[in-house]
Amino acid sequence: MKLAEKMLREKPSRIPSGTWPEELKPVILWLRSLASKGTSVAYLGPPGSYTHEATSILFPREELIPKSTIAEVFEAVEKGEVEYGVVPIANRLEGPVNETIDLLFQSNVKVYHDIEIPIRIMLASGTVDSIEKVKRVYGHPMIFKQATKLLKELNVETVPTKSTSEAAILASKEEGAAALCSPKAVELYDLRVLKANVEDRPHNATRFFVISKLDNPQGSMTALLVTVPHKPGGLYNFLEVFAKNSVNLTMIYSRPMKDVPWRYIFYIEMEGSREELKDVLEQAKSRAAIMKLLGSYDRLDLTG
């Protein structure tokens, strides 16, 4: 059976619309059909968050457990309470998520998969049936910054909340209230979309890592954390190995080490699997002070 036919024949129940390009839906449906049952997955909550949306795409049949912080997701994976965790790693507009990178350095978990989803912001309500009737808008402060054109147009009271999910809950009950929230929150809290895709920059997206104690040596990408000798040319000597072997580094990001003042750890992503890069990584390790392989993984890009 051809792959396209398999994807269509094995597709499970419907998927929420409006969050990824139409042509990718058969791929998502097929991925869902391959998902195992009986697995528990922790994610950065609350329910209705963008992390919840990403988690639901990859794990539609598993038990999904919301956690209040990224650290709690890592802890649940490390303690074996869940097999997988899902956390944000980088946003196109805001850059890498510092807490996730720090915890990858401190913990023993591995990166198992990578998914990128578009950040679509919905203006939605459970009590209002037209945009002209909106008297108040709830939303996370960061969401407000990403929908300034709409808010200027509405010219109504804005009330910050701890999360987009909290905003959706308030807008589902309060007369005259609307929320800026995710498509997942619209679905979960049974809201009416008054205006879709209200974000100022339509190309915004966030990447999420699936973390696990399971190690994956294969994949199109590899990530690592490294500290280099504190001497002139330390970083150059380390990176030279990749340049000489034509390895494309797709991200380099520095974070301060918590226990050593004014010393830094570098988070690096590159094309190729750990198996394919075995010799290169061994050369690089010999030039590093500390090098921690986070794992190899495939990336699912749903941004179109």
Residues of the chain with CATH 3.30.70.260: 221-301
Yes or no: is domain 3-119+204-212 CATH 3.40.190.10? Answer: yes
Distances (CA, A) of 194 to 125, 177, 181, 202: 7, 11, 12, 18
Average pLDDT over residues 163-172: 93
Work out the burial of residue 51: count CB atoms within 10 Å of its CB; fewer than 13 is exposed, 13-18 middle, 19 or more buried: buried
Q: What percent of the chain has pLDDT over 70?
A: 88
Residue 127's φ and ψ, nearest 5 degrees, are -125, -10
**Residue 192: beta bridge partners?**
125
Closest CA to 235 of 264, 205, 275: 264
- Span(s) in the chain for CATH 3.40.190.10: 3-119+204-212, 122-195
Give residue 303's pLDDT.
Answer: 86
pLDDT band at 8 (very low <50, low <70, confident <90, very high): very low
| pLDDT band for position 23 (cuts 50, 70, 90) | low
Task: Retrieve residue 295's tokens.
Answer: 């794992």
Q: How many Å apart are CA 130 and CA 178, to the nearest integer?
A: 10
| pTM of structure | 0.82
For residue range 179-230, list pLDDT tens digits in order: 999 999 999 999 999 999 999 998 999 999 999 999 888 899 999 999 999 9
Q: Please tell me the distance from the alpha carbon of residue 42 to that of residue 56, in angstroms, as a whole number.
A: 11
For 122-195, which CATH class? alpha beta
> Does 11 score more than 50 pLDDT?
no
CB neighbours (10 Å) of residue 285? 16
φ and ψ at residue 221, rounded to 5 degrees: -135, 155
What is the rounded average pLDDT of the residues 66-90? 95
The pLDDT score that the predictor gives to residue 6 is 33
Chain mean pLDDT for the chain: 88
- Fold that domain 221-301 belongs to in CATH: Alpha-Beta Plaits (3.30.70)
* Cβ 183 vs Cβ 19: under 8 Å: yes
Tell me the residue type at 235. L
Identify which of 290, 294, 225, 280 has the alpha carbon closest to the alpha carbon of residue 253: 225
